[in-house]
Amino acid sequence: MKSILDKQDFSNLDKNEIIELLQLRGSDELNLFKKANKIRLRYRGDRVYLRGIIEYSNICKKNCLYCGIRSGNKNLTRYTIKDEEFYEAVNFAIKHRYGSIVIQSGENTSTAFIDKMTEYIKEIKRISIGKLGITLSLGEQSKETYQRWYEAGAHRYLLRIEESHPELYKKLHPQDDIHDFDKRYRCLVDLKEIGYQLGTGIMIGLPYQTIEHLADDLIFMKNLDIDMCGMGPYIEHPDTPLYKYKNNLLPIKERFSLTLKMIAILRLMMPDINIAATTAMQAIDPMGREKALQAGANVLMPNITPKKYRDEYLLYKNKPNIDKNPDDNICCIESRIRIAGFRIGYDEWGDSLHYFRNKKGI
């Protein structure tokens, strides 16, 4: 009998086909991962690109109902990294030949924050002699701010839509002006228009979310023509309103396996984009990130935030590696990538080929 995996062209999967793929089990599921890995090797090679992530501040003006650092959570100490600590992390990335860094933070639209980020971006370019690629993950900002940071030297932006259905998005966020789906979508369009390599992503296994939603999420990413994706399983945090649904969620292993399938299907649909193996995968399975790489992901984001702040940037519970310094991580990452069958792209930006193909109109 013919299987959906016998298809020759996966670039235009329809919703029913995606649902069929998401429901694969056992050897069919493994064959899906193998197929995605093959496509990844053909289009993106065997390199894994490192983006050292600096979690700059856990001060956030938003109150997303699933997030551990939401403004309404009083059970954590708020922090902002000091300049010297920030540059120490940047120098760590340069020394260990990470090709890029990601600056991530709770959402802050103050002038002081915008100015500080502009200064950091310019300074990173200067001290790395242009070597470090810069991805920003700083939430919703005005188009002018995005433009300013782009002109300062940032060239990739990750803004997860988290859930692409406006109705479901509403259930996951407070009902007010600053948690508005249309506004978030507008930001994605602005980023693309400015010329950033655009990244988005979702959480998998959220309360109320169905397999149909997930299929639509993949079609959303395809239609938005993204260059990068970071998606991970939803892991509940006790200090959040959504925690009350903890007994109604899919079992955690099912969320993990669905995430692997989402990565693999997206790789088949968009062969030349960058896909991250997110830390949330490792929170569920010690080999989670390696399994994600073998299912089609090609980017890792090792945490290079100073250790003393890591306990306070817990977007979800059981986040791994919070008790380790960056130095403890590097050997571990290298050997894990090698064992998984890949090589690190040292000193390489590892940009999205999709972005350049689009630019050239190929």
Binding stretches for ligand SF4 (CB under 6 A): 60, 62, 64, 67, 69-70, 106-107, 139
Distance, CA of 114 to CA of 139 (rounded, Å): 12
Q: Which is nearer to ligand SF4, 70 or 165 (CB)?
A: 70
Token pair of 45, please? 């090679």
Report, in Å, the least distance between residue 137 CB and ligand SF4: 9
Taking the complex as a whole, the smallest distance from the CB of residue 223 to ligand SF4 amounts, in Å, to 23
Amino acid 121 reads I
- Nearest distance, CB of residue 157 and ligand SF4, angstroms: 14
Distance in Å, CB of 109 to ligand SF4, minimum = 11
Rounded least distance, CB 139 to ligand SF4, Å: 5
69 or 101: whose CB is closer to ligand SF4?
Answer: 69
Q: Closer CB to ligand SF4, residue 73 or residue 259?
A: 73
CB of 185 to ligand SF4, least distance (A): 15
Smaller CB distance to ligand SF4: residue 112 or 362? 112
φ, ψ of residue 4 in degrees (nearest 5): -60, -25
Residue nearer to ligand SF4 on the CB measure, 16 or 110: 110
Cβ-based nearer residue to ligand SF4, 69 or 124: 69
* Secondary structure class of 202 (helix, strand, coil): strand
Per-residue b/e over 285-302, b at no fewer than 16 CB within 10 Å? beebbbbbbbbbbbbbbb
User: In which element (H, E) is residue 197 found?
Assistant: strand 197-200
Contacts of 45 (CB under 8 A, 6+ apart): none
Pair of tokens at residue 77: 């100490």
Residues 6+ positions from 71 with CB-CB distance below 8 Å: 60, 61, 62, 63
Please, what is the minimum distance in Å from the beta carbon of residue 237 to ligand SF4? 10
In angstroms, what is the minimal distance from the CB of 105 to ligand SF4?
Answer: 8
Residue 50, classed as helix, strand or coil, is strand
Beta carbon nearer to ligand SF4, 20 or 107:
107
Which of residues 46 and 239 has its CB atom nearest to ligand SF4 in the complex?
Answer: 239
Q: Which residue, among 220, 242, 216, has the nearest Cα to 229 in the 3D structure?
A: 220
Classify residue 358 by burial, with Cβ atoms within 10 Å: 0-12, 13-18, 19+.
middle
60 versus 191: smaller Cβ distance to ligand SF4: 60
Smallest gap from Cβ 219 to ligand SF4, in A, equals: 23
Report which of 238, 230, 253 is spatially closest to residue 314, judged by C-alpha positions: 238
Q: Where are the beta strands (DSSP E) in 256-342?
A: 274-277, 299-300
Looking at the Cβ atoms of 164 and 298, the one nearer to ligand SF4 is 164
SS3 112: helix
Least distance to ligand SF4 from the beta carbon of 4, Å?
Answer: 34
Distance CA(145)–CA(149), nearest Å, equals 6
Q: How far apart are CA 307 and CA 321, in angstroms?
A: 9
Instruction: Let me know: does 326 contact 304? Beta carbons within 8 Å.
Output: yes
User: Cβ distance 355 to 195 under 8 Å?
Assistant: no
